[in-house]
Structure 1
Amino acid sequence: MPRDPGLQPERTALAWQRTGLALLVTALVVVRDGLVSGGGVGLLLVGLGVGAAACGLVVVRRSRTELRARVEALVTGAPLPAPTATRTAAAGVLLLAAATVGVLLG
């Protein structure tokens, strides 16, 4: 049975897009909380939230770029490209974890 090269990479890309969007939405909630709370902790939360939001946007963008590269590699028989969204998503999660600590201590 011939293998359809588009389904698995598409599912993976959609999963990364959901991850990036969840990261983005959570980061926007942190930014809103920072703007409401004000002061030093609020400024810290805004900074961490903006950084996490940027990571979320990068994850969404990279998932789309990687989908095209993976499908092309599967069609041509070339080696699959290494995933690049993982480190960015981890950085965003660490920023949100730091924001959580800021909320709890502030």
Structure 2
Amino acid sequence: MGYLLLTGAILSEVTATTAMKYSEGFTRLWPSLLTAGGYVVCFALLAQTLKTLEVGTAYAIWAGAGTALIALIGMMFLGESVTPVRLAGIALVIGGVVLLNLGGAH
């Protein structure tokens, strides 16, 4: 159940961050509300996740997956450049999360 809640936290954070792009500095109502609501849901789900998962594991997955997804969304849908360096950065973020999780395995 912890990983399901964590997935929800990641998706709501990614949604909120994407909406922030469209809020134009919080001058547009609906994207601004989606941003605020998405972060509230995100942190509520992350707090519930921490009841069953170690904080280091949960945070590494949440931060790494969120960062990688936002970077991919930016490249795929928001016109951000796709370069080998950026793709390598995403791979390193994902690899770092995997290593942290392997290091904490019993």
- Category of TM-score, reference length = shorter chain: 0.3 to 0.5
Higher relative contact order (CA 8 A, sep 6+): 1
For normalisation by structure 2, the TM-score amounts to: 0.40
For normalisation by structure 1, the TM-score amounts to: 0.40
Larger radius of gyration: 1
